[in-house]
């Protein structure tokens, strides 16, 4: 799966699991930051990140190691879709 396809799946997760308004999800781009408190971000907090990682595990069939610091991968849609695409390739 290419990062672009991964990105589309992530946008779908934003709506289905994180309960974002579909219009808000559609406005996001690869560069949109994820964490709350960052300028222009979609505003995810710690609980959202847990939900997101469960959804990623379910949708892509990969395991997210909660003991590993994944902060850098969860910085933006771009970093996250690359991280997932990489995991899928190595799987």
Partner 1 sequence: MTRPGVAITGVGVVSAAVTGDSAALGAFLAAPAAPAGEALGAGALAALVDPGEARRLSRVCQFTIAAARLALRESGVDPAAGLGLVVGTELGDLASTHAFADGFLERGPGGLSALLFPNTVMNTMVATTAIAVGAREMALTLNAPTVAGELAVARAAAALASGRVPAMLAGGVDELDPVVERELARLGFGAERRGEGAAFVVLEPRAAADARGATVLGEVSAAAWRALPARPWGVGRTRRSPAIAAALEAAAARPGDVGWVYASGSCDSARDRWEEALLGAALGAETPVSTLGRLLGRHAGLGVLRVAAAAWTARSGLLPATDGTTRVERVRPGRGLVHGLARGGTHVALVVGAA
Partner 2 sequence: MKRIVITGLGAASPYGAGVAAYWKGLAGGACAIRELTLIGTDGFRCRLAAAVPEPLAGSARRTRADRLAIGAAGEALADAGLGARDRAAAALVVGAVGGGMLEAEAWYWRHARDGTRPASLSAVRAMLPSAHAETLASRFRLGGPRHTVVTACSSGAVALAEAAELIADGVVEVAVAGGVDAITRICFMGFNALKLLDPAPCRPFDRERRGMSIGEGAGFMVLESEARARARGARVYATLAGHGMTTDAFHVTAPEPEGDGMVRAMSAALARAGAAPREVQYANAHGTGTPQNDRIEARALARVFGEGGLLVSSSKSMIGHTMAAAGSLEAIATVLALEHGLVPPTANLATPDPDVPFDCVPRAARAAGLTCAISNSFGFGGQNVTLLFRRGGAR
Catalog residues that contact partner 1 under the rule CB under 8 A: 17-21, 43, 47-48, 50-51, 54, 57-58
Kindly tell me which of 28 and 53 has the beta carbon lying closer to partner 2.
53
Q: Which does 39 bind (CB under 5 to 8 A by kind): partner 1, partner 2, none?
A: none
Q: Which does 78 bind (CB under 5 to 8 A by kind): partner 1, partner 2, none?
A: none
Q: Least distance in Å: CB of 91 to partner 2?
A: 19
Q: Which does 67 bind (CB under 5 to 8 A by kind): partner 1, partner 2, none?
A: partner 2
Residue 18 CB partners (closer than 8 Å, separation 6+) = 44, 48, 51, 52, 55
Residue 55's nearest CA partner among 4, 12, 5, 2 is 12
Binding site residues, partner 2, CB under 8 A: 45-47, 50, 53-54, 66-67
- How far is it, in rounded angstroms, from Cα 9 to Cα 68? 23
């Amino acid at each position: 799966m290419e990062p672009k396809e991964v990105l589309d799946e992530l946008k779908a997760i934003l709506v289905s699991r994180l309960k974002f308004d579909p219009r808000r999800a559609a406005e996001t781009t690869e560069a949109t930051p994820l964490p709350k408190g960052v300028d222009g971000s979609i505003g995810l907090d710690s609980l959202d990140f847990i939900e997101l990682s469960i959804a990623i595990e379910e949708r892509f069939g990969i395991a997210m190691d909660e003991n590993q610091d994944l902060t850098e991968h969860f910085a933006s849609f771009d970093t996250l879709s690359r991280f997932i695409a990489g995991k899928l390739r190595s799987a």
